[in-house]
Every structure is written in structure tokens, then in C-alpha cells.
Amino acid sequence: MQLNCLIDHLQLRKMQLDKVKFLIDVNLPYYFGLWNSDEFIHQLDIKNDAKDTEIWTFAKEKNLSIITKDSDFSNRILFLTPPPKIIHIKI
């Protein structure tokens, strides 16, 4: 049900998910030149209060790579298989 809610949010915003390859986690800035293209979607464009589990499931089902600085996603790949792709940014 929660995943359907995410998909509904995308449809309302008329996002073309077929072009999207990367999902930017909410802990990274919304306005950043690097992900200012159709290949990127920010979590705020989907649902700003989505839980990590919802984001994980959404990315996995849509074959998206999650870009995050949240170590929880990196830790999840050790226990849940097959995981979505994770790009963990450490600053």
C-alpha cells in the first residue's frame, strides 16, 4: 500500500519514471546541479516523509540506484538480497 502511495505521488507530479535511474535520498540537497536532469528524482518529489523501507522497496522495484549519505542503506545491503544499487556519499 505504501509503495502505491509513492507511485501515486509520481503520477500526480507527472514524472516520467522510465528515464529515471537514480533516487536521491532526502538527506541530500534538493537543489544541486549534479542531479538536475531527467535521470534523477529526489525523494521530496515522491514523498517527503517516506521511510527508508519504502524508498528501498521503490528503488528495488523500479531498478533505481539510491544516492544517499545515510549509512542505514549501506548497512541494509549486507542483510537484504538482492538489494537495489546504493551510492553512499561520505563527506
What does the pLDDT look like over 26-49, one tens digit per residue? 888 888 877 778 888 888 888 878
SS3 (DSSP) at 32: coil
How many domains would you assign to the chain? 1
pTM for the full predicted model? 0.75
CA distances from 41 to 70, 75, 79, 80 (A): 17, 22, 26, 23
DSSP state of 84: P
Q: Are 89 and 67 in contact (CB under 8 A)?
A: yes
Domain membership of residue 55 as a residue range: 2-88
Distance CA(86)–CA(9), nearest Å, equals: 23
Q: Looking at the predicted structure, is the pLDDT value of residue 10 above 60?
A: no
